[in-house]
């Protein structure tokens, strides 16, 4: 049965809120993991020596059974503090243990590990110790009992404690190693928790001078971008209220700085209305497409990876490197795709001409990191738009026929992410390293058997810059998504005490 829910998601600052509408068949699947403190303390004398020998024997036997995992965890020097999205605090219950493990695995393997494979992002290399930080992730009365602002504030306090003190509230069940004060940290946030991550970044920047404080970087997905999020664009709050029924005083609106010492990677999916809203709200087709993307796209980040084909490198702005996951079909056409037999081909045929009209509502030459509000005067040249629309019609037919018969009779080429007539995109062949196991639930490493190149494009944005050229890397395969669990795991919450 088709269900719906509304999720306010925050990003970009202390008073800023986005709201997502979630349509999902039965449930909304997102990303999953947790951890234990394991250790043995022995004193002096014969008995402790025998105990230590026995422990060593047992550990040696376990190592022979799980050599890959134990080696990975023992060597892990980078701790990934993973937070869930609204409705998923990553505690068990309410989340199931398989869900939490899958979420942490996806966060590390799909986003953090690929982001680290190029030195230009500043994300540290693995191996990684994935830690499920417990945050409320509520939005009363829709989800839980806390209003969303209170949920974000409590989550921020929990994350700040994990990063700056010896106390970290985390899930004990997954089996990851407890965070250590000597670790470098990567904070991972999705949707509502992406806001928590960005608020923590702002707080750290205000508290510590460059070169001081904890070693921490950030990776966020589905975040409210300075140029792209609805709340960043809608400074009056009118469009947000008309679309989502959210008042301005219920939103978080102040900007998160991008000039800090904390390296950040921000990944959005094209046409996710939370992160990629059009700049001109008078383009109603683009607005409706982004609105549909809030439901059909914002919930699909676990189906993607930063190492998949078609990633657009949007460049560096300040401390943040931006990436956009290419969406091959407009969210408006999702229902068309579901038509039996002919749906996928029909959507492929309609997408190119409609994409020309949708993209007319965007300005892809401006960096996602440059704060950009609505611009009612942004209208591309109507003659050029009309010509591109007409050129896109045979492209659509070729796309559909190629998908069905592997033939392009009109001789056109498949356009890039921004469609026919879109801005120039530079491509590079990139490789990424295989991911490393991070939890006991991961019994094998997801690796590619041979290096595979992929085309990664970057439009030339104004105000963006690259700090270094990219290195070659091989594609990693995404871990399989787990099925929805039907039973709840027992509750096991922990407060980690770690040495300073």
Phi, psi of 386 (to 5 degrees): -65, -45
Furthest CA-CA distance within the chain: 89
- Spatial distance between the Cα atoms of 222 and 161, rounded to a whole number of angstroms: 24
Question: Under a CB-based contact definition with an 8 Å cutoff, are residues 396 and 258 in contact?
Answer: no
Residue 100, H or E segment = helix 97-106
What does the DSSP assignment read for 21-40?
A: EEEEESS-------EE----
Query: CA 78, 455, 414, 381: dihedral to nearest 10 degrees?
Result: 80
CA distances from 455 to 27, 335, 416, 461 (A): 33, 29, 11, 18
pLDDT in tens, the chain (500 residues): 333 343 434 333 333 344 333 333 333 334 433 333 233 333 434 434 433 444 344 334 433 443 333 334 444 579 999 999 999 999 999 999 999 999 999 999 999 999 998 778 899 998 999 999 999 999 888 899 998 889 999 999 999 999 998 899 999 999 999 887 678 999 999 999 999 999 999 999 999 998 898 999 999 999 999 999 988 898 888 888 888 777 776 766 556 789 999 999 999 999 999 999 999 999 999 999 999 999 999 999 999 999 888 889 999 999 999 999 999 999 999 999 999 999 999 999 999 999 999 999 999 999 999 999 999 999 999 999 999 999 999 999 999 999 999 999 999 999 999 999 999 876 533 444 444 434 444 433 333 333 333 344 455 555 444 343 333 333 323 333 333 333 333 333 344 444 33
Question: Under a CB-based contact definition with an 8 Å cutoff, are residues 139 and 84 in contact?
Answer: no
- Spatial distance between the Cα atoms of 182 and 184, rounded to a whole number of angstroms: 7
Structure confidence at residue 41 (pLDDT): 34
Structure confidence at residue 239 (pLDDT): 86
Cβ burial, residue 104 (10 Å; 0-12/13-18/19+) = buried
Structure confidence at residue 460 (pLDDT): 52
Cβ burial, residue 175 (10 Å; 0-12/13-18/19+) = middle
Structure confidence at residue 18 (pLDDT): 40
Which residues is 366 bridged to in the sheet?
A: 462
* Helix (H), strand (E), coil (C) string for 164-227: HCCEEEEECCCCEECCCCCCEEEEEEECHHHHHHHHHHHHHHHHCCCCCCCCEEEEEECCCCCC
Give the global pTM: 0.74
- Spatial distance between the Cα atoms of 343 and 351, rounded to a whole number of angstroms: 12
Mention every residue, 6+ apart, whose C-beta is less than 8 A from residue 284: none
- Spatial distance between the Cα atoms of 140 and 7, rounded to a whole number of angstroms: 10
């Amino acid at each position: 049965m088709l269900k719906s829910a509304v999720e306010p998601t925050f990003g970009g600052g202390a008073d800023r809120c986005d709201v997502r509408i979630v349509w999902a068949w039965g449930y909304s699947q997102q990303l999953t993991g947790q951890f234990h403190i394991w250790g043995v303390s022995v004193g002096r004398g014969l008995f402790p020596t025998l105990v230590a020998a026995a422990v060593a024997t047992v550990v040696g036997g376990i190592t022979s059974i799980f050599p890959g995992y134990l080696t990975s965890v023992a060597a892990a020097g980078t701790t990934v503090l993973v937070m869930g999205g609204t409705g998923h605090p990553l505690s068990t219950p309410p989340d199931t243990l398989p869900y939490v493990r899958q979420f942490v695995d996806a966060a590390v393997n799909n986003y953090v590990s690929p982001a680290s494979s190029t030195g230009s992002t500043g994300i540290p290399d693995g191996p990684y110790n994935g830690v499920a930080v417990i945050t409320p992730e509520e939005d009363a009365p829709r989800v839980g009992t806390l209003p969303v602002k209170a949920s974000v504030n409590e989550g921020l306090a929990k994350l700040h404690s994990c990063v700056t003190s010896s106390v970290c509230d985390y899930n004990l069940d997954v089996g990851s190693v407890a965070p250590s004060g000597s670790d470098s940290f990567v904070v991972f946030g999705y949707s509502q928790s992406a806001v928590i991550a960005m608020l923590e970044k702002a707080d750290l920047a205000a508290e510590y001078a460059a070169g001081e404080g904890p070693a921490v970087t950030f990776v966020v997905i589905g975040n409210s971008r300075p140029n792209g999020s609805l709340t960043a664009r809608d400074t009056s709050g009118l469009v947000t209220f008309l679309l989502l029924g959210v008042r301005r005083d219920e939103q978080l609106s102040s900007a998160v700085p991008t000039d800090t010492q904390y390296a950040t990677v921000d990944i959005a999916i094209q046409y996710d209305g939370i992160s990629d809203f059009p700049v001109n709200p008078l383009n109603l087709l683009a607005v409706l497409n982004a609105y549909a993307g809030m439901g059909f796209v914002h919930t699909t980040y676990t189906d993607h990876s930063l190492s998949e084909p078609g990633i657009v490198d949007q460049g560096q702005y300040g401390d943040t490197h931006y990436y956009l996951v290419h969406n091959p079909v407009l969210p408006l056409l999702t229902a068309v795709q579901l038509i039996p037999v002919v749906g996928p081909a029909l959507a492929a045929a309609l997408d190119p001409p409609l994409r020309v009209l949708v993209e007319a509502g965007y300005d892809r030459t401006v960096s996602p990191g440059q704060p950009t509000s609505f611009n009612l005067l942004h209208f591309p040249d109507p003659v050029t738009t009309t010509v591109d629309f007409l050129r896109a019609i045979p492209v659509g037919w070729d796309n559909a026929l190629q998908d069905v018969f592997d033939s392009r009779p009109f001789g056109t080429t498949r356009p890039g992410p921004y469609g026919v007539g879109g801005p120039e995109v530079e491509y590079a062949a990139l490789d990424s390293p295989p991911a490393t196991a991070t939890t006991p639930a991961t019994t094998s490493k997801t690796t590619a058997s041979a290096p595979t190149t992929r085309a990664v494009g970057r439009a030339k944005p104004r105000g963006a810059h690259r700090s270094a050229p990219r290195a070659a890397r091989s594609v990693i395969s995404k871990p399989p998504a787990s099925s929805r669990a039907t039973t709840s795991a027992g509750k096991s919450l922990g407060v980690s005490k770690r040495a300073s």
